[in-house]
Structure 1
Amino acid sequence: MKLRAHYFLLAFCIVIPVAICCSIALNMLRNAERESAIQRIHESARLTALVVDADIDRAKAVLQVLANSQALAHGDRKRFHQEALAANAGPGAWIILYDKTGQQLINTRHPFGRPLPRRPDPEQVAALLANGKVNVSGMRWGAELNNNFVMVERAIESPSGERYVIGQAFSPAFFTHAFSNSAIPSTWLVGIFDANGVYIARRYEAEKFVGKAVPPHVLAAFNSAPNGNLPSKTAKGARLYNVFTHSALSSWTIAIGAPVKELDDAVWNGIGVVAIGLLIAILGALTLTMMTGRRLVAFIRRASDAARSLGRGDTVATLPPSIIDELDELNVAIMDASRRLQSEMRSRADAESDRNTLLVLEKNARAKAEQQNSAKDEFLAMLGHELRNPLSAVTSAVSILESGRPLRDEIVQRTHGVLRRQTDHLRKLVDDLLEVNRALMGKLILDKAPADLAAVTQRCVETLQASGRTDGFELRVSTEPAPVLADTTRLLQVIDNILDNAIKYSPAGGRIEVTVRSADGHAELQVRDSGLGINPELLPSVFDVFVQGAQTLQRAQGGLGIGLSLVRRLVGMHEGSVTIASAGAGQGCIVTVRLPLLASRALPAPEAPAAMAAPGRRVLLIEDNEDARDMMAMLLELRSCIVYTAENGPDGIALALARQPEIALIDIGLGEMDGYAVARALKANPLTARIVLVALTGYGTGADRRRAFDAGFDQHCTKPIKPDELDAILA
């Protein structure tokens, strides 16, 4: 028997069983299609309910957010009206705020300020205020609206303690989006009903049905189960598959009705298509069998010819494609070598491209590392320059005082002035380095209290004027009360850094304008100068650490380039903002600091004048550095104090027991026994427990202060101590 006869026999044995199985499958398919259509209606109802629940859930979230509005807490209803308008669900929806009597206070359907009516059911407001729950209402009639509407409403309590009822209202047209843009066929009816069976929205003839109730038996069916089927007929007698389900967030019902004829037609159409497809498949199978047999026979003949050609060593052309995979593998084997070669070439090209990319990345990384290394070297050189300058002046001043020659009073005063200015400069450099490091590491702690930005600014200006820093400049100061909640010490740092830059970068005779005012709920400090200005390319990075404008070798302006970075950190910690604007080099610049204005606008009480130091205090000084101990002892003796000194903890404790001082200044970093241990020992002994203990140390973080107070210290001062700080301790 030939190969073709075998193919026909095989086709006949396959077609007969397939025909029998297909008839059984068609019947099963008809039933499955009908069940699938009904399930599709169920799924459409469920998805529509999810859309409605999403609208309700969003309304709840919006009401919760508006309940925490600072505008409502501060009684700023106009601003709250704008917030509610922005949070509104969209066209066909509006937000209403009621007081406890039911009077409308806010209604986003109307412009702010328009007279609003009182709610006709104030008892509902009282009920909401009593239970505090979220209520999703049924259909209501709005006399002013002249239409039906529904609401999602709840009782809220503002941060100021006032209680209100706030609601998101929806017109019936709003919920049409739940099915207008969905995949529900246009011939299906969709309805949304409240707990009483009243239409909230309907897909077709909404104006005829919305606001009307369904028959009692329909409502009973709705209430009998979470979901189900409810066969019915249209007004024209057409039968409907009705499927209903309930909203999970309300007592609403969503019902979808699909024409029975449409579903049955779809089922039979599908079965017909499948039947025709099966018939075509059978005929196609027979045809394909014949064609495949012919192709296979022809391919085998060509393969035999190719085998003979290979045996003779001739070039074999690619065999024509076949519909059988095994036969096509012959062609694949022939073309595989060519594809391998092309793949190898592409791999080499990709490897070359990757190598070039890595070279570029390595070059960029090396350039960045060199730039960072250069910035580090430049900063270290700048730090050395900034430290050596005051140290050189201090060394020269000390040499003059130690010369042993009689000096005129004028020279002595000038020398003292140099020492005072340069030590202040050194202290400021060290403070700036420490402060910016703490700020970058997030270790700064603010001690906030009500303060007047205008008074703090005036205080900083007066300090600069008293030191002579503003001599030779045209300084204009204009302030008005601006209460803020701030750490006054940190605020002084911010203002001092900004004014210091304005003075530093302004030429002699330049104009500096300082303004403090209240604007848009913020206290605003603005410093405008007519100095060097800032180049546009430097302006975006002016707040970065160690960034400065170009300077000559003389570094006339000085500084470490960390002041503005510290300013931004401190202002940010006060929940404020700082900006710098400049028209360019030589055009001066404007620095603006904005801090949240205190809601109460209450100004802090003026500071009490510093107490004068009391003479004749008995002071114990425990310090292991001989020079520091001698100088501090001299300062105390100049203030008429009786001073006892010790260079370590045990000697200091013995002196305290023997001399009974009033005050003890104790260094923390002592050798044998640190200052914390000394303080604990003094406080533990009843004979020395009443001594006022003052930590005098170079450790100045908030954690250091807390540790000192935990050890028993009464005060904590960082070195070098200022004269007025020492006077305050003695007083």
Structure 2
Amino acid sequence: MKLRTHLALLVAATALPVLILAVAVVILVQRDRQASVESGLQETARAVAVAVERELDSSITVLRTLAASPALDGRDFAAFYEQARRAREVNPRWLTVYLVDASGHQVFTLLRPLGTPLPEAADFDYVRAVLETRRPYVSDLAFGAVSRRHIVTINVPVLRERGVRYVLGASLMSDAFAELLAQQMRAGGSVAAIRDRHDVLVARSREHDRYVGTTPTPAFARQLRSVRGHERIFEVTGFDGARLHAALSRVPTSDYLVLVATPVVQASAGWWLLWIGGGAIVLASFAGAALLARRIGRPIAALSRNAAELAGEEPLSAVPRSSVPEVAAVHEAMVRAAAALRERSAERQGRQAAEAARAEAEKLSRDKDEFLAMLSHELRNPLGAIASAVSILNRVGHDEKPAVRAREIVARQVEHLTGIVDDLLDVSRVTMGKIVLSLRPVDLAELVRRYVERLDTERRTSRHDVTLSIAAAWVNGDETRLEQIVGNLLGNALKYTPGGGRIAVRVDAEGEHVVLEVRDSGIGIAPDRLPHVFDLFFQGERALDRSQGGLGIGLTLVKRLTELHGGSVAATSAGVNQGSTFTIRLPRIAPVMTSRERLPGGRRRQARRVLIVEDNADAREMLRTALELLGHTVSEAGDGEAGVTQAAATRPDVAIIDLGLPGLDGYGVAAHIRRQPGGETVLLVALTGYGLPEDRRRSADAGFDVHLVKPVEPEQLAEVIGRELGEVRP
């Protein structure tokens, strides 16, 4: 029989089951309503606690990022004050950011200008808590001494090598938590509240200003103490005397309590009458309805399970055999729908995964390029100032041995830092295929000999026994990149070979290849690490003092640059403390006869009027002093607008302009100078930390004659000026 026939028989045979169902519904609704209220309250309390936890974690994450700022290492509080101010701008819930040192002295707060005397914070609970635990700490509700507002402070330790140097914190107004609660409790008549460790009310979703800072009644406080640390439902009397169902959840980060409450619902008398009548009907007609309910209920319940399984994209379970054809038809339709749904879901997930992976890869590529460009810019500014200072010391400094030694150390460190920047940029360029080789015939043996002589001159080989076995061997290569390969291999050999060790360098022709071999008696390479020595950022075993340094990119550059030359590189080692051998093979070419052309000496340099436009005061001062020592007349400006004004007033022969100026940038300064009377004859020199090909093209398009990348030796700059103005032959 069909389903409708069964239903007709059910209605005809037993009219009473309808009433039975009504009674059952009353019972179920009563129970379900109570359970729903309690479950909903508890889920809401958990959700609100999660939202509060997320808000606190977000602030802690931002504060930890600020705490890692290099400005704190150098006690550059002005720079860190500016960083904190920008962080507050992107965190509108913050009232202020403050910094307290380990002695409890408050260094600054964004509510006052930097340098304003501030009250001591040594006795504040949050300072002691962070210093003792070295972990983030969220305070109880407090009334700010400076802000004069109810606040909660979020504090993180500023950890350095000797422990907690500072306590960095942000103050959140309690109003921010009230807004958060109000957003979570938009619908319904429920109210949410947050209480701190001492049960003081931190925030309330309604009438916050009226109740903030209040303590609970003694009875309510006892209830809170009995349930703290547990999730449970209990009844409580509200501020207005009404009885409330309340749910509690704890916020782990702060040990705060989140309470969500709703009025107790009273059942009406009609419900009780219906329940009594329904009970009587159940007793009268239960037996007659049981058989028919069983015949229909089992297959319908199975179909219901099928529907839930279909929604969850799970395999469909079997349906009991039924005399109702519609049941079998529905089950078959569900099977077909489940297959189609799985197919469409797989296609959709595949598309989404591919799109997400592509977007993430593009973003990572952009972020990496921007990071490397900014890293270069930020490092090259101080390097330029140091390089200029060394040049001045070499001209006007004393000849005492300590002064000479100090100049040598500074110059060597400048060269080292410049090499780090260049290696970082080269890794990025090689990885993205942006390295373009300037190929020409090169005698690799002569290149190695010159490089070792330079190391000898710099006394970098004085602690080692370095031997050369070289014979003329010509390759078609980029001399600068080949020297970079040789420098990385010899640098590693010197670094990882103890004093008194041996380093043997061999260059020779073997068949169709030129072989460069660097063999040392140093610390060697463990067998399990040998296959990874050319991986990017790979680091060998390190001592605790990390005295050997390195970024793990040198050998990666060696491998990539060698492959760009059409060659190969291999590393071998017998094990730890057994030394290492690195062998490079490059395609060999026929020897090329060259002769060095000696140009007649150039004319003497003339004194020029030079304008320096540079926002870094130290770099500007050092460059000015160096150029004045070379006989030039120098004027200067610290920003773009001042540079344009100085150019119009002094009519310089040469303008040296930093591209990254505040306000009017270097490109704009160049355009203004070109439009001034006589501006078309001014030699415009772009001096910047950005040196990618697109940066050079942009400066040329803006009208610059020369693009120099920091750091630049003053002698080199003077040589460029002389060459461009026709004083010295290139």
Quickly name the TM-score band, shorter chain normalised. 0.3 to 0.5
**TM-score in terms of structure 2 length:** 0.42
Larger Rg: 1 or 2? 1
The higher-RCO structure (CA 8 Å, 6+ apart) is 2
TM-score norm. by structure 1 comes to 0.42
